[in-house]
Chains A and B, each alone.
Chain A
Amino acid sequence: MESPFLRWRNFLSDSAARKKYEDYVKAADAKVGAFLEFDADRGLGLVSDANPGADLAGVPFAVKDIIAVKGFHLTCGSKILENLVSPYTATAVEKLIARGGVMVGKTNLDEFGMGSSTDNSALGKTNNPWDQGRVAGGSSGGSAAAVAAGMAAFALGSDTGGSVRQPAAFCGVYGLKPTYGAVSRYGLVAYASSLDVIGVCARSVEMTRAVFDIIRGQDEKDQSSQAGGSGPAAKNRVIGVLGGNLGLDPAVDRAYRKTMDFYKAQGFELREINLAMAEYYVPVYYTIATAEASANLARYTGVRYGYRPDYAENPEELTRKARSEGFGSEVKLRILLGTYVLRSGFQDQYYQRAHKLREAIRADFDKAFGGAGLILMPVFPTQAFLRGQSGLDQFQQKLADRFTTAANLAGLPAMSFPAAVEDGLPVGMQFMAPAFGEALLFDAIKLYEAQFPCPVPPSYKPEWIEGS
């Protein structure tokens, strides 16, 4: 089979191709704003053994700026880490570099991965390549936009509650959230450790699969990682779908029907499933995620690295000033929420209760996968939304996480794919599979891709993108 990286192989080894590529990125990113840092030279410097036969030789890829790459910044989209240069490289990135991949730049995100628009970044604005007035989604908005606009072959993101799948859906690319533990988290800056996973944005199913196969695996530096093995076999041709009023925008609703019709036509049986715990996804997610975040973000005090106030009387004041000046309001809100739910005397009511519900959510999916081989559902109730009044406020955005957070809470793999272009904007759907069933996701979505390939945003059609 032809390498999914063919169009990008040795891209950066050829000086003419490289110049064309770098000029394009410069021009395109002036409008999109996907990158916080772009430096192909430094990326090439990280490849120690430039073997032209390696499968990723000379292939440019991007990394969400919440994943560590030595010598590049690691800002997490936050003022508090704006000046931090990483002293080490994440395991997943190391694996890609070892295959010859060239890490060309760090992409924009919602601060510490907290948001659904990338507008919560303190360091830059990322626009949707399909419509500059709209958000790219989040929190891995920079990664999804970079891939959608052809500025990188693929990009790594992180998905804590939908942060790879939702921007991928908004920008019209594929977005994989692997099984919890399938990819080492070493080097992924923690937002919510029991939910976080490194994911992949790419323009084809096979590229997504190839990247996942490289980055997956057990890592002694991450004791929550697992080898996973070959995963479950395809059980049946039953796809679980959601019934009832899902509160979807009409365009999203149309796309959901379109995908269901497609799979029915392919000979799959669609079976409506009852996910009894669905109403708890969002509250449970925000309880657990913020609790973990309140501890994970405690290390940012300006004492050892990062933003430091000009003056402080003592270490306590240094910490207080660094945090109140360095964090954005959404991050502060989540730290406060997390601190609140962990208070002694209230843990039973919030944190412990959320854990019990999380177990029930897992059991709910075990039951659902007892009958169905895969579950098909929307990613987000809307398409990429506008900035300002007509868009979604922070609270509406949280409620809209109801389709994506389930996979994180249950630790299951899920992948979003471009299902349609409606009113000039892409719409994404997602499949969920049993643990370590990534191959099932790829196989199912590949069928769809064969008929409806990855759409190309009209203003960003570099020649190296398929379909341009």
Chain B
Amino acid sequence: MYQSFIGLEIHIQLLTESKVFCGCTNRFGDEPNTNVCPVCMGYPGVLPALNEEAIRLSYIVARTLNCELSPRAIFERKNYFYPDMPKNYQISQFSSPLGRNGWIDIEYAGKPRRVRIHEIHLEEDAGKMIHAGDMSLLDYNRAGTPLLEIVTEPDMEAGEEAEILLQNFRRTIRYLGVCDGNMEEGSMRCDANVSINLEGQGLGRKVEIKNLNSSRFVKMALNYEITRQKELFGKGGKIVQETRLWNENRDVTEPMRTKESAHDYRYFPEPDLPPFIPGAEFLAKVDKGLVELPEARKARFVKEYGLSAAAADFLVAEKATADFYEQTVKLGAAPAAAAAWLQFDVRKILNRDGKELADCPLTAGRLAQLLSLLADGRIHGKIAKQVLEAVFAEDKDPGQLIKEKGWQSMSDMSQLAALVDQALAANAAAVDAVKAGDRKPLGFLVGQIMKQTGGMAEPRLVQELLKQKIK
């Protein structure tokens, strides 16, 4: 029997206003070489100045992932030449990274698993080189973007497990608001490493896999690689320690040119930056950035609001949704109703319109108002759905919309009784059928009254009156 060992190296770009060592805007998608200055372009004579926001976000991640914090984090130069790297060394951390020995808990195959974090360090991202025909084009907008690298221990064994860890991690960083976790745009990137060995023999020869642009590719590439190595091992072949690239067109890993692997990075402490010593004041600021994580929040939702696991899962997937939900409940909405509306009606509209909850006309206040109108019987269920659509279409409060459109429920008993009498008189055959024991025409009669009132009659009351009168 074989055992496989998977570790991940995850890079996330931190959501700071400016770059990590200069004041340039940190933003994806701008015109090439517009967010640059002498510092991030590596002009002679410039110096890096550490962005406090970047280091604060880094420590928030380190704390969240249960790391031991270095009392003295040291920046070092990692030396190698590449045209997209302006200084031809990357300011990174090596001997004393800011966080070490943490963990992420996940659930895999129905069991809880703890994946250890080897280290977390802060570094600067490089620019981008694009080859176009016989030209190489360089864009340095990304150069100097704060990049946090999270290195796990080889504690996973299957591609599926790595995929779950990545999804879990992605949700966590989005919760923390430190990164948008967009693997397609590259704000979150992942390299994987895997080795296999006979059970009980410990780690085998490590193979690294690069070019993994989604968590699905991470899973596929790892499973492909495990199978490949097992087959090779079984045939008595030797596994080479190497770096391979995932080919997403052919669904295979392929060896990368070995030239790249012979690097000696010649790390040494960055003389331009003093060691970072996290003081009490700084750590207090870090603690302010800590939030309740999705797993804990889910458990609390089930317990506190009596939600099903599925409903809670849906609500906590995005922090914005969970915050919106709690705000709605805080404003008086019934927890179950608020959950159901967010999960079904609201989500349907958002999906249809391609909108985000955080950026749409519906606010927690408006949803709470709608649900209270419904609970008080001032509108009924079908109208409530109409009101919701109207909120999205017209960007107005539910109360105002109901007034403007005359959508209040008709619940005056004497008024309704008159309508029922009219309907009974006009539909003698249906009345007879009901009296004979067929309940179906009852619905037809309700429908007639609803039609007559333009849908405003409270259907529950209409039904009650009909039953009384036909008896």
Contact = CB atoms under 8 A, between A and B. Distances in A.
Interface string A43-64: 0000000000000000000000
B50 A186 contact: no
B235 interface: no
A299 B47 contact: no
Candidate in B41, B44, B264 with the most chain A CB atoms within 10 angstroms: B44
A344 B38 CA distance: 31
Nearest to A225: B47
Contacts of A186: 45-47
A183 B126 CA distance: 30
Contacts of A147: none
A299 B39 CA distance: 12
Contacts of B79: 294-295, 298, 342
A313 to B, nearest CB: 10
B88 A299 contact: yes
B257 interface: no
Contact of A88 (B38, B50, B88): B38
Interface residue SS majority, chain B: loop
A76 interface: yes
Interface in A88-105: 88, 90
B437 interface: no
A343 B264 contact: yes
Contacts of A303: 83, 138
B83 A223 contact: no
A450 to B, nearest CB: 38
A299 B44 contact: yes
Contacts of A224: 47, 271-274
B87 A298 contact: yes
Interface in A303-319: 303-305, 314-316, 318-319
A203 interface: no
B49 interface: yes
B28 interface: no
A87 B44 contact: no
Nearest to A192: B271
B259 to A, nearest CB: 10
B305 interface: no
Contacts of A81: 44
A68 B44 contact: yes
A38 interface: no
Contacts of A193: 271-272
B433 to A, nearest CB: 87
B365 interface: no
B169 interface: no
A334 interface: no
Given A88-B38, A223-B47, A223-B50, A291 B268 contact: yes
Interface in A275-317: 291-292, 294-295, 298-301, 303-305, 314-316
Interface string B78-89: 010101001111
Most buried by A among B81, B264, B274: B81
B171 interface: no
Interface in B268-292: 268, 271-274
A90 B129 CA distance: 30
Nearest to A323: B81
B319 interface: no
A315 B88 CA distance: 13
Nearest to A291: B268
A310 to B, nearest CB: 16
A330 B405 CA distance: 86
Interface band, chain A? 35 or more
Which of A193, A220, A295 has its CB near the most chain B CB atoms (within 10 A)? Answer: A295
A319 B44 contact: no
Nearest to A316: B81
Contacts of B46: 88, 186-187
A74 B44 contact: yes
A444 to B, nearest CB: 30
Contact of A223 (B41, B43, B273): B273
Given A88-B38, A291-B268, A344-B266, A301 B47 contact: no
Interface in B236-280: 264-266, 268, 271-274
B42 interface: yes
B45 A222 contact: no
Q: Is the interface of A mostly helix, strand, loop or mixed?
A: loop
B136 interface: yes
Contacts of A90: 45
B48 to A, nearest CB: 8
Contacts of B271: 193-194, 224, 292
Nearest to B38: A88
A49 B152 CA distance: 57
Interface string B36-63: 0010011111111110000000000000
Contacts of A300: 44
Contact of B264 (A87, A185, A316, A344): A344
Contacts of B41: 304
B100 interface: no
B43 A87 contact: yes
Contact of A301 (B45, B81, B268, B273): B81
A295 B89 contact: yes
Contacts of B129: 315
Contacts of A351: 268
Contacts of A194: 271
B77 interface: yes
A190 interface: yes
Contacts of A66: 45
A67 interface: yes
B47 A185 contact: yes
A66 B264 CA distance: 30
Contacts of A375: none
B352 to A, nearest CB: 48
A342 B263 CA distance: 13
A295 B264 CA distance: 13
Contacts of B272: 190, 193, 222-224
Contact of B81 (A86, A221, A298): A298
Given A186-B47, A291-B268, A343-B266, A299 B83 contact: no
Interface string A338-372: 01001110010001000000000000000000000
Given A187-B45, A222-B49, A295-B77, 7 more contacts: A87-B38, A88-B46, A190-B45, A292-B268, A298-B79, A298-B81, A339-B266
